[in-house]
Structure 1
Amino acid sequence: MQSNNIKTIKWLTYLMFMMFAMTTDAVGVIIPEIIREFNLSLTAAGAFHYGPMAAIAIGGIGLGFLADKIGRKKTIIIGLALFSTACGLFAVGNTFSFFLFLLVLSGLAIGIFKTGALALIGDISKTAESHTKTMNVAEGFFGVGAIIGPFIVTALLASGVNWKFLYIIAGGICIVLCLIAALVAYPVRTQVNTEQINLSRTFSILKSPYAIGFSILIALYVAAEAAIYVWMPTLLKDYTGSYTWAATWSLTIFFTFRACGRFLAVWFLNLVNWKIAMVVFSAAIAICYLASIWFGLEVAVFLLPLSGLFMAMIYPTLNSKGISCFPKHEHGAIAGVLLFSTAAAASFGPMIMGVYSDWMGGEARHGFVLAAGFAFLLCAGCVYNWLFDPTDQHIKEIENLEPPIDVAK
């Protein structure tokens, strides 16, 4: 029974990751449409991305403790129910402000149920290594959702159907996941004093050097990655070279590489130390960005999508190692902290790129100069982590303190 429950929980988590990626990572395809529909600047249209990302950040840092206080199950159900409501309301509106409000509401919901899901992964993982592999699989399903979302939007637009039906479809899927979440049995954890589980404790976790270090690395990675799925379609929309097919399908190619890379990471982590892999892959990302800037769109049309393969392992591994630095009864809070860092970077990174690009004349290529800078800083951080290895012994000590997993009906 325990084994079956854990498998069900894993699949529920994987499908949740896939479902919300369908909406968040399709925004790069939607932005050019709303620019035309509502006559917006790059900065204003980018609110479709950094609006919900800011809400995810607020939900993560402000409500992440709920997963520890009221339990993973209730937290996940509350988040999924709120998300499905926000998606369903897309059917009744037609203004930019209303759509932006719904995206912000859905972002808050993601912040709630994702912290619950991340904490749940910690509950069912026996070691930091298994936690990292499960996180890579979960993010692999996120990558699949990131392929499905833009594909659905492209298919809808080609058929003359409004892009907002993507959210209605996602809302329907979310209702099914909510029902599954209500029925499945969850791991039984050692109860702690819930009076101490609040926002103040989340802020106390922020003082930890492990939380600070992983938050910075995650923020640098996400800011660099977000440049691809937010601004790459805009960068390549006027490409007229010999490889127009690559420009047309650039985002799908990027997401395909990223998804495949995350599933391959589970195998790759058995062969190569994660710290060395992080150095190599972060350096490859930085090189892709620099070469794209230096050689122009003829190179960027290939190297920017290819960067997804090198990005694949970085985020789930950083997220996993950061969470593993804390005991399981604090996984909801630390997941919220890292999710805040993720969403804040995903919000402000593209926003800064959009503002800078508008300031430089309205060409998206200028923002990729900033993205290259983020990538090089990430690489420097990974080199430091490899040389000084500040977390290995601490994670082992945390593992030795954890009780065995128990799953009740």
Structure 2
Amino acid sequence: MILAMILTYGIFAILLNSVGTLILQSQASLGASRAAASVLDAYKDLPIAIVSFLVASWLPRFGYRRAMMTGLLLVAVACVGMLAMNTFWMVKLLLAATGVAFALVKVSVYSSIGLLTDDPKRHAGLTSTIEGWFMVGVLAGPWLFGAFIQRQRTPDDPVWLQAYAWLALACVVAIALLASVRLDESRARDEQGSLGAFADMLRLALRPLVAVFVISAFLYVLIEQSIGTWLPTFNADILHLSTATSVEMASLFAAFTALGRLTAGQLLRRVPWHVLLSTCVVATALVMLIALPMAAGAPAPAGEGWRHAPLAAFALPVTGFFLAPIYPTINSVVLSALPKARHAAMTGLIVVFSALGGTTGSFVTGQVFAGTGGQSAFQLTLLPMALLLAGILWLKALGGSRDA
């Protein structure tokens, strides 16, 4: 079951974090404007938010394993659609389908973690492992798309869409794997009806500790999507790298994020969670303040490929290392504090606010990018960083702890 969840999460990691590539390709291959491309994140994030809010309350009755299979099937069909139609509206449809499916998958995966573990430390360990493999998928995505983009003979050559054939095949494999395993989901169900479970999710949101948790998740995803989604475009427009190199070098952000989560898993055994996360936010801001002036003065590369890329192309992705521990840590803390029957409702709240944060971050960054340039767009992330630091300190003041 854990292997099935890892594979499923990896597929969605590639699809969800391909928005930066799709923004760049929509402009280069499909003729979309930068302003039009800036709303692509909303096509996945708003369905994630809406569907998570609506289904989290009754998903335990539908079944987590069945929900994951349904989400994978929906995405497989959308990937086949991308192969058949090389249009901007199909990109939007793919992202909408991915959003609906991920709402089912994320609530199911996070809730299943509670069924497969019996104490907070094991819960945090499995959460970090699955989120770590999610980052492996994020890292693999740019290389998958970059390999096909390099084969384009002209900007509008649809050869890059062949990447979706491999993603559709991976969905089929994951569905087969989920169909072959069993999961005891009886502990996830309680006696209240779906309306009662829905009301329970709303009551959870009114708890001060939970409210600050979900706001912090909103701010984290806002920052992460602002940087990660627009990094390929930043590489192409500000650092003057080729399309393929811009996409591939953006994978460094995912690589540093994966390394950061693995490192944090060890540090959290010795360092209080609020100290580590506060340090990470401050370090992220410092990297941005150092890297952006480097990007402003970077000359155009002398040739193609990584070896000709300016230092700023390697410096900006380092923010992923310091951002990495924040999201899985705050999620694990709040979920470990709740009964297993309420994990689906709590995960629904987390997914809703995470999706809204992703849409807000990508849209605002895209609009500022189009209006005043990439430097200003990335500098703007310093404001939510300050708010996130305040949120972490507030969580500690409210009594949040690593073993809550």
TM range (shorter): 0.7 to 0.9
Shift of 1:18: 1.1
Alpha-carbon distance in structure 1 between the residues aligned to 2:334 and 2:80: 34
**2:389 equivalent to 1:390:** no
Partner of 1:109: 101
The equivalent of 1:148 in structure 2 is 140
1:352 CA drift (Å): 1.3
What does residue 193 of structure 1 align with? 191
Instruction: State the shift of 1:345 in Å.
Output: 0.7
| TM-superposed deviation, 1:337 | 0.8
Match of 1:170 in 2: 167
Contact 1:279/1:379 (<8 A) preserved: yes
Which amino acid letter does the alignment assign opposite residue 101 of structure 1? L
Instruction: Please give the residue correspondences for 1:214-363 in structure 2 after superposition, counting only pairs within 5 Å.
Output: 214-239=213-238, 249-297=248-296, 298=298, 300-360=312-372, 363=373
Residue 307 of structure 2 is matched in structure 1 by none
Contact 2:60 2:185 survives alignment (8 Å) = no
Q: Distance in 2 between matches of 1:353 and 1:61?
A: 26
- Asked whether the 8 Å contact 1:83–1:171 carries over to 2, the reply is yes
- Contact 2:216 2:391 (C-alpha < 8 Å) held by counterparts: yes
CA shift in 2, pair 1:176/1:252, >3 Å: same
Q: Is the CA contact 2:236–2:246 (under 8 Å) kept in the aligned structure 1?
A: yes
Corresponding position of 2:3: 11
**28, 36, 41: which one pairs with 2:28?**
36
SS in 1 for 2:117: coil
Cα separation, 2, equivalents of 1:82 and 1:241: 37
TM-fit CA distance, 1:231? 1.1
When residues 163 and 214 of structure 1 are mapped into structure 2, their CA distance, relative to the original with a 3 A threshold, is farther
Most deviating of 303-312 and 70-79: 70-79
CA distance in 1, matches of 2:386, 2:315: 16
Specify every segment of 5 or more residues in structure 1 that has no aligned partner in the other structure, as ranges.
1-8, 397-409
**Aligned CA distance change for structure 1 residues 163 and 337 (closer, same or farther; 3 Å):** farther
**Residue 39 of structure 1 aligns to a residue in which SS?**
coil
User: Share of identical aligned residues, percent?
Assistant: 25
- TM-score norm. by structure 1 comes to 0.86
Q: Deviations over 1:195-237 (max 9, x none)?
A: 1455343333222223311111111111111122211221221
Normalised by the length of structure 2, the TM-score is: 0.87
1:376 matched to 2:386: yes
Whether contact under 8 Å (1:286, 1:372) holds in the other structure is yes
Higher mean Cα deviation, 19-28 or 155-164? 155-164
Contact 1:261 1:310 in 2 (8 A): yes
Q: Amino acid of the residue matched to residue 392 of structure 1?
A: S
Q: Displacement, 1:168?
A: 2.9
Sort the Cα spacing of 1:248 and 1:337 in 2 relative to 1 into closer, same or farther, 3 A: closer
Cα deviation 1:242-291 (Å, max 9, x = unaligned)? 9x999675312111111122223322222222221111111111222233
* Deviation at residue 375 of structure 1 after TM alignment: 1.5
Indicate if the aligned counterparts of 2:146 and 2:247 stay in contact, CA closer than 8 A: no
Alpha-carbon distance in structure 2 between the residues aligned to 1:381 and 1:292: 25
CA contact (8 A) 2:57 2:197 kept: yes
> 2: distance between equivalents of 1:137 and 1:131?
10
- Match of residue 377 from structure 2: 367
Quote how far apart the aligned CAs of 1:66 are.
3.2
Structure 2 Cα separation of the partners of residues 250 and 278 of structure 1: 26
Partner of 2:69: 77
Change (3 A) 1:294 1:158: closer
Is 2:368–2:376's contact at 8 Å kept on the other side of the alignment?
Answer: yes
The count of residues paired between Structure 1 and Structure 2 equals: 383
1:347-400 CA-partner distances (Å, limit 9, x unpaired): 12110121233333xx222211221211121122223334x252239x65xxxx
Query: Displacement of 1:240 after TM fit?
Result: 5.3
**Backbone CA RMSD of aligned residues:** 2.5
CA 1:24–1:203 in structure 2 vs 1: closer, same or farther (change >3 Å)?
A: same
Aligned with residue 17 of structure 2, among 25, 31, 45: 25
2:38 maps to amino acid: G
Is the Cα contact below 8 Å between 1:23 and 1:166 reproduced in 2?
A: no
- Specify which of 151, 155, 161 is matched with residue 159 of structure 1: 151
1:187 to 1:391, Cα distance in 2 relative to 1, 3 A: farther
* Deviation per residue, 1:71-106 (Å, 9 max, x gap): 222222222222222222222212211221122012
Change (3 A) 1:264 1:392: closer
- SS of residue matched to 2:160: coil
2:256 and 2:321 in contact (8 A); partners too? yes
